[in-house]
Chains A and B, each alone.
Chain A
Amino acid sequence: MALKRPAIKNIPYEEFKDNETFEKLVEELNQNGVNIAVRSLDWLFDWGRSHSLWPLTFATSCCGIEFMAVCAARHDIARFGFEVTRNSPRHADVILVSGTIVKKMAPVLKRLYDQMADPKYVIAIGACSVSGGPFRKSYHVVQGVDEIIPVDVYVPGCPPRPESFLYGMMQLQRKVKVEQFFGTTNRKERDPFKQEYKERSEKILESQEEA
């Protein structure tokens, strides 16, 4: 079953700027073909999951304040089903890394990520978590969270406007909507997208052992 232009009802396809990555993703998912029955169930699950992603309240600095503004009345994150912010990583589906991650915080962030239950997602909010941002030259700042955890969506800006937050989160919803829930997403070891990250974190650990 080919799944070329997945119909996403609430937002027109043209409104997204980056449809290429998304289509590549769909293509990879469909490489081996899918079973109709399983796929229909997938659709149902993914539809449900994409509209109730629970973010972890995780903010280290300035971008966190914008996150609070997104949660509050004017921008109202609840319109997209993100309003259930959780304080414990074990309840959360998505971690919004808002703010600079420094070297002392890196193991803590990694641990938070590891504590979250699969399937889990990461959005890097702000220049700092995308690449180090204004603090890239600093001796104590991690140059982008993708060095330590795999990132699904990058939201640039310093800080990103609330609209960008929402746009980024909607990108994640699209991503969730085309996932093959059975057999891939609900089974971590076979997830092709997390492989790369695994190798990288192993490499970091190895280099540490040597040092």
Chain B
Amino acid sequence: MNLTYQTIAPGALRDECLRLREGGMDFLVFLTGLDLGDEGFGVVYQLENTQTKEQVNLRCVTPNREQPVLPTVSDIWDIANIYEREAYDFLGIIFAGHPDMRRIYLREDWVGHPLRKDDNPEAQNPLRMDNEPLSDTTWQYELSEDGTLTKRENVVFEPEDYVVNIGPQHPSTHGVLHFRVAIEGETIKHVDPVLGYIHRGIEKMNESMTYPQMLALTDRMDYLGAMQNRHALCKVIEEAMGVEVSDRVKVIRTIMDELQRIDSHILFFSCLAQDLGATTAFIYGFRDREKILDIFEETCGGRLILNYNTIGGVMHDLHPNFVQRVKDFIPVMRKGLKEYHDLFTGNVIARNRMEGVGILSKEQVIAMGCTGGTGRASGWHNDLRKLRPYDAYDRVEFDEITFETGDSFCRYMVRMNEIEQSLRIIEQLIDNIPDGPFQEKMKPIIKVPEGVYYSAVEGSRGQFGVYLESRGDKSPYRVHYRSTGLPLVYAMNTACRGNLIADLVTIGGTFDYIVPDIDR
């Protein structure tokens, strides 16, 4: 939808934010920086009241290009901590009062800020083959009354801390993620995630691509939510251009999204089991997953990277075998699910390692913006399919799975139960896929009217949103993807503190983050 936003002067930002927070705006949906050219640098905030579902969009601009400084909101919404570090890394916006102004994706010795329009990252940063520096201290900047910026050193790890590096090459971090973990005995004191080992600069690349070209990269971010990611981007462009897709496309997209969700949750189960040493369960999971991949392959041509949704429709019509294949698959999956429960869910070792471990309360998940299964395991009703139904979700019946405890076991069970719900959704839709065109007629060159847009879908692991700012050209002015995984990685510190180091693997496994989606 087209966003209406309030522009707030930097001086008034904190008061306004505090007032909104008091008024119940407890969820910071996304925060991102913008390069506005001569106007300076801006930051956009989207806030949501989790009770009333009201949303507010704010924008704060600083005209100073030499030394852009804005006040921090990291003490108001916990998750702003990591979002502001991202804005600092990409655009060099300094957040006064932020306790930890370090780069987050790029190397500490990186020169420049790549998302600035006048920055030339390739020229300034040749391939560096020396080991990257990692400091144990960080900076906090303060802006005084007369406009001078002072900085103070903050400590991340004390010299006497015992710090263990987990990753970037570690089999159970699920990709190239790096945790620096301070431990005392076997108890975790502090987890400091180091990101960017798969930062591919997608947001910057998008700024020089046409809209159809952009689509290809979304599949490759969260590859277990390839359908949903691309769906979100198509949705935001369609809404911006006022294109209404046919009923057939809506139903196809819904079915595909749900198949993808099952695919992702099976992989979650397999990997978690593998991390806990249950190799058999891994093989069982992949056995069933191949069946979904067969269905995808027949219609889309790809197994993992599907490239199926397009602006105004889908790439090809459904394969004639599709309906039958899906119908055959549903009972197979139900049987498989029962096997998983027999094999793994009831297992004493698995239970002991998951129950009561890594507890997050409802307030914590909201403050840290952990959407998706992780949030629902703590009792936060955040399923966008229920809150703001899109496509065909308003005409199907399904339950939003929530738990109360918020431990690893709940996070695991949410995903297992969601497989069943996804099957239910597919069952209701598969027999009545309406007729109609599978692709609307679009102009050969797609231009999005000037404006600011945001649209989100429920991805496999949370709210996946696309923020799009267009100036009416063939390519967007700024794109930001609300990553589903970034809040989860941020929450690792809170969830792991006080637990044993061996539990870090289980907690990380049940969070179910995908690293290329975090790094983008």
Let me know if A159 is at the binding interface, CB within 8 A: yes
CA distance A147 to B127 in the complex (A): 10
Nearest-CB distance from B227 to chain A (Å)?
A: 14
- CB contacts (< 8 Å) of B368 on chain A: these are none
B106 A140 Cβ-Cβ under 8 A:
yes
A47 at the A/B interface (Cβ < 8 Å)? Answer: no
Pair B197/A139 contact, Cβ less than 8 Å:
no
Bound-complex Cα distance A110 to B131 (A)? 10
User: When A72-B282, A73-B287 are in contact, do A62 and B305 touch as well, CB less than 8 Å?
Assistant: yes
Contact flags (1/0) for A179-210 with B, using CB distance below 8 Å? 00000000000000000000001001101100
Q: How large is the interface on B (under 10, 10 to 19, 20 to 34, 35 or more residues)?
A: 35 or more
Q: Is the CB of B129 within 8 A of A107?
A: yes
The answer to whether residues A61 and B130 also contact, given A72-B283, A141-B200 and a CB cut-off of 8 A, is: no
Contact B290 A140 (CB under 8 A): no
In the bound complex, CA of A56 to CA of B220 (Å): 23
The 8 Å CB contact of B286, one of A69, A105, A205, is A69
A103 in contact with B127 (CB, 8 Å): yes
Q: CB-defined interface of B107-151 with A at 8 Å, one 1/0 digit per residue?
A: 100000010000001100111111110000000000000000000
B129 close to A62 (CB less than 8 A)? no
B-side binding surface: helix, strand, loop or mixed? loop
Stretch with Cβ within 8 A of A (4 or more), from B18-26, B71-79, B168-176, B428-436: B168-176
Q: How far is the CB of A88 from chain B (nearest CB, A)?
A: 10
Would A107 and B131 count as touching, CB distance under 8 A? yes
CA–CA, A107 and B196, complex, Å: 13
Q: Does B441 contact A (CB under 8 A)?
A: no
Q: A72-B287, A148-B129 are in contact. Are A65 and B198 (CB under 8 A)?
A: no
* Chain B min CB distance to A47 (Å): 29
Q: Does B304 contact A (CB under 8 A)?
A: yes
From known contacts A72-B283, A73-B283, A87-B171, infer whether A66 and B303 are also in contact, taking CB-CB under 8 Å.
yes
Q: Is the CB of B286 within 8 A of A60?
A: no
State the Cβ distance, A107 to closest chain B Cβ, in Å. Answer: 5
User: Cβ of A168 < 8 Å from any Cβ of B?
Assistant: no
Contact of B107 among A72, A103, A110 (CB under 8 A): A103
List residues 195-217 of chain B with CB under 8 A from any CB of chain A. Answer: 196-202, 204-205, 208, 216-217
Q: Is B462 positioned at the interface, with any CB of A under 8 Å from its CB?
A: no
Please give me the residue from chain A that is nearest to B209 by CB atom. Answer: A137
Q: Does A64 contact B (CB under 8 A)?
A: yes
Taking the closest CB of chain B, its distance from the CB of A169, in whole angstroms, is 18
Q: From residue B92, how far is it (CB to closest CB) to chain A in Å?
A: 15
Known: A61-B220, A65-B223, A104-B196. A207 touches B126 (CB 8 A): yes
Contact A104 B220 (CB under 8 A): no
**Which of A65, A89, A100 contacts B304 (CB under 8 A)?**
A65
Residues in A neighbouring B126, C-beta threshold 8 A: 207-208, 211
The answer to whether B181 has its CB under 8 Å from any CB of chain A is no
Are B198 and A139 neighbours in the complex by a CB distance under 8 Å? Answer: no
With a CB–CB cut-off of 8 A, which chain B residues contact A58? 169
Task: Tell me, rounded to whole Å, the shortest Cβ–Cβ distance linking B517 to chain A.
Answer: 10
Q: In the docked arrangement, what's the CA distance between A188 and B200, Å?
A: 34
Distance in Å from the Cβ of B194 to the closest Cβ of chain A? 9
Q: A107-B131, A205-B129 are in contact. Are A112 and B223 (CB under 8 A)?
A: no
A66/B205 in contact, CB under 8 A: no
Residue contact B205 to A135, C-beta cutoff 8 Å: yes
- Do B176 and A105 touch (CB < 8 A)? yes
A103 to B293, CA, bound (A): 32
Q: Is the CB of B220 within 8 A of A107?
A: no
How long is the Cα–Cα vector from A72 to B128 in the complex, in angstroms? 36
| A140 x B200 contact (CB < 8 A) | yes
CB <8 Å contact, A108 and B197? yes
| Known contacts A102-B197, A161-B303, A60 near B106 by CB under 8 Å | no
Which chain A residue has the least Cβ–Cβ distance from B226? A62
The residue on A at minimum CB distance from B271 is A68
Find out whether the CB atom of A138 lies under 8 angstroms from the CB atom of B205: yes
Q: A138-B204, A139-B125 are in contact. Are A62 and B130 (CB under 8 A)?
A: no
A134 touches B217 (CB 8 A): yes
Bound-state CA distance A147–B126 (Å) is 12
Inter-chain contacts of B176 with A (CB < 8 A): 60, 105, 108
B89 CB to closest chain A CB (Å) equals 12
A/B interface sample: 10 pairs, CB < 8 A: A60-B175, A60-B197, A60-B198, A60-B515, A61-B220, A102-B200, A107-B128, A135-B202, A137-B208, A141-B200
Write the residues of chain A forming the contact surface with B, with a CB cutoff of 8 angstroms.
Answer: 57-62, 64-66, 68-69, 72-74, 87, 89, 99-100, 102-108, 110-112, 134-135, 137-142, 147-148, 158-159, 161, 201, 204-205, 207-208, 211
**Beyond known contacts A102-B199, A105-B168: 18 more, CB 8 A cutoff:** A60-B197, A60-B515, A66-B303, A66-B304, A74-B287, A87-B170, A102-B196, A104-B199, A106-B127, A106-B129, A134-B220, A135-B205, A135-B217, A138-B204, A138-B205, A139-B201, A208-B129, A211-B126
Residues of B within 8 A of A (CB): 105-107, 114, 121-122, 125-132, 168-171, 175-176, 196-202, 204-205, 208, 216-217, 220, 223-224, 267, 270, 282-283, 286-287, 289-290, 293, 303-305, 515-516
- Which A-B residue pairs are the 8 nearest by beta carbons? A72-B286, A139-B121, A138-B201, A62-B223, A61-B516, A105-B197, A140-B201, A87-B171
